[in-house]
Amino acid sequence: MDPAYKLSIGGHVFDGRDDQYLPATAAQLDQFPGLTVTVHDTILGVDGVAMRFTEHGASVRDDGRVAAWRGITVFRLAGERLSHGWAEEDYFARKRQLKSGLPDAVAAPALAPWDQPVLPPDPATEAIVRDWLPGMLRAAAVEPVLVDGPDFAALVEIDTLTISHMFTAGPRAAAHVESHGRYAGGFVDIDRALIGEPVILRLAAIFDVADGTVSRAQVSGDRLGLHRHLLALQRERKG
């Protein structure tokens, strides 16, 4: 990890490995002393690395209640070091589990996830993914990386997508995107009068390309950040 490493997550940037990233990591370990990361999928490329994972542990702030929350991180490489990570984790699901005391299951780990070959970038893969992205949330190939609650298509009607970062490795790709659009009404505790409000949903995804199209898209998103934004807007309008 480069000393200048940055992590972008949920609209926040932790700028600097030692100054901001490591203290934030230590704070999470203070809350979850036995925190475990189970890796389910990886992409190893010349230009980047990506992984789909589940973090799980017992929270000392919540009477030892256990939670398991899923996510995807996309890393840019500078030489042999990680220089910038873009992550989206399902803290919305973590909040639910810590409140209920009912943890979600952890899926099976990938076999030897870090021992696969490192693949070069492929411009054809990138072009296919870029063309496919605008309709991503309603595509049959999408596998939302979440458990319970509204999926991403129920939350946002996308107008435009901004790609924060993308890399390819052979027939696979990973990207972080900001989806700008209108709230679609998926949260049960948010006033339906807010449907149509401008919102941003940040997403991280791993793509598989076959036969000229995206055959699989594993997508993780910042549901909690969107929910908090809408709650604040709801309170503001109610005075």
Asked whether residue 90 falls in the same domain as residue 157, the answer is: no
Asked whether residue 84 falls in the same domain as residue 142, the answer is: no
Q: Is residue 116 part of a domain?
A: no
Q: Is residue 16 part of a domain?
A: yes
Burial class (CB in 10 A: 0-12, 13-18, 19+), 130: middle
> What pLDDT does residue 162 have?
97
Is pLDDT at 174 greater than 80 in this prediction? yes
Q: Is residue 110 part of a domain?
A: no
pLDDT in tens, 62-120: 999 999 999 999 999 999 999 999 999 999 999 999 999 999 999 999 999 999 999 99
pLDDT in tens, 110-144: 999 999 999 999 999 999 999 999 999 999 999 99
Asked whether residue 152 falls in the same domain as residue 213, the answer is: yes
Average pLDDT over residues 191-216: 98
> What pLDDT does residue 67 have?
99
| Domain endpoint, select from 65, 100, 135 | 100
pLDDT in tens, 14-65: 999 999 999 999 999 999 999 999 999 999 999 999 999 999 999 999 999 9
Asked whether residue 138 falls in the same domain as residue 59, the answer is: no
Q: Is residue 20 part of a domain?
A: yes
Q: Is residue 113 part of a domain?
A: no
The enclosing domain of 11 has a CATH number of 3.10.450.50
Q: Please, which residues have CB within 8 angstroms of residue 205's CB and are 6 or more apart in sequence? A: 72, 136, 174, 175, 176, 177, 217, 218, 219, 220
> What pLDDT does residue 20 have?
98
Is pLDDT at 239 greater than 90 in this prediction? no
Asked whether residue 129 falls in the same domain as residue 79, the answer is: no
Is pLDDT at 200 greater than 90 in this prediction? yes
Is pLDDT at 7 greater than 80 in this prediction? yes
| Domain endpoint, select from 41, 65, 100 | 100
Best CA proximity match to 34, nearest among 63, 69, 59: 59
Average pLDDT over residues 220-235: 97
> What pLDDT does residue 238 have?
84
- For 46, the domain range is 6-100
Asked whether residue 96 falls in the same domain as residue 128, the answer is: no
- What's the number of domains the chain is made of? 2
